[in-house]
Chains A and B, each alone.
Chain A
Amino acid sequence: ETGVTQTPRHLVMGMTNKKSLKCEQHLGHNAMYWYKQSAKKPLELMFVYNFKEQTENNSVPSRFSPECPNSSHLFLHLHTLQPEDSALYLCASSQGPLETQYFGPGTRLLVL
């Protein structure tokens, strides 16, 4: 299934690095999301974009910076991360904010 793609699939970075996660959806959806999934914790919503406008920032630290240049692409820019930021970062999209969300395969991030 290639409805929602994410790159890279795995990323190891040091605390001083800057990297970006990319998400692309091919479903013609209008809403896109970033989630964080840590071990033994529920999925945590980070950001929501609807028609390219950010509608939710769920108290995420500023070392995570989202960008949504168009309704098909979503980026998560990372800088000066902490080891506790190591997690699976999932992108999702939906037709509208109340509609079913479809997830990408995720980027497994390890911060050393």
Chain B
Amino acid sequence: RKEVEQDPGPFNVPEGATVAFNCTYSNSASQSFFWYRQDCRKEPKLLMSVYSSGNEDGRFTAQLNRASQYISLLIRDSKLSDSATYLCVVNMGTNFGNEKLTFGTGTRLTIIP
């Protein structure tokens, strides 16, 4: 089983639609979780951290399910500018000095006008 697994897509979604991605992780002791966004030929940038209680930032909602070991990202009212690759990132470390930020392969999203 991969440490962090995502559906690579591509997801082709019409503008204004709602889209959701899931990401599963293998290490039940993982401490922190993030969604990053990477535009074509650019560096990854933090989209949002994922908190245990779930969190929302505008049109974006992130959820964590520790029991099933997955995180999700929901994008509502999608915009053309949301087209990017979305990277699921899990910190597999458990001790200070043993941190290991592990990236998924990313889910490619294209918003269609």
Contact = CB atoms under 8 A, between A and B. Distances in A.
A and B: partners?
Answer: yes
Interface of A: 33, 40-43, 45, 48, 50, 55-56, 90, 97-98, 100-106
A102 B99 CA distance: 16
Nearest to A91: B43
Interface of B: 4, 31-32, 34, 42-46, 49, 87, 91, 93, 96-106
Given A40-B105, A42-B105, A98 B46 contact: no
Prevailing SS type, chain A contact patch? loop
26 contacts: A40-B105, A42-B4, A42-B87, A42-B102, A42-B104, A42-B105, A43-B44, A45-B100, A45-B101, A45-B102, A50-B97, A55-B99, A56-B100, A90-B44, A97-B96, A98-B91, A98-B99, A100-B46, A100-B49, A102-B45, A103-B43, A103-B44, A103-B45, A104-B43, A105-B42, A105-B43
Given A42-B105, A105-B43, A98 B100 contact: no
A56 B44 CA distance: 21
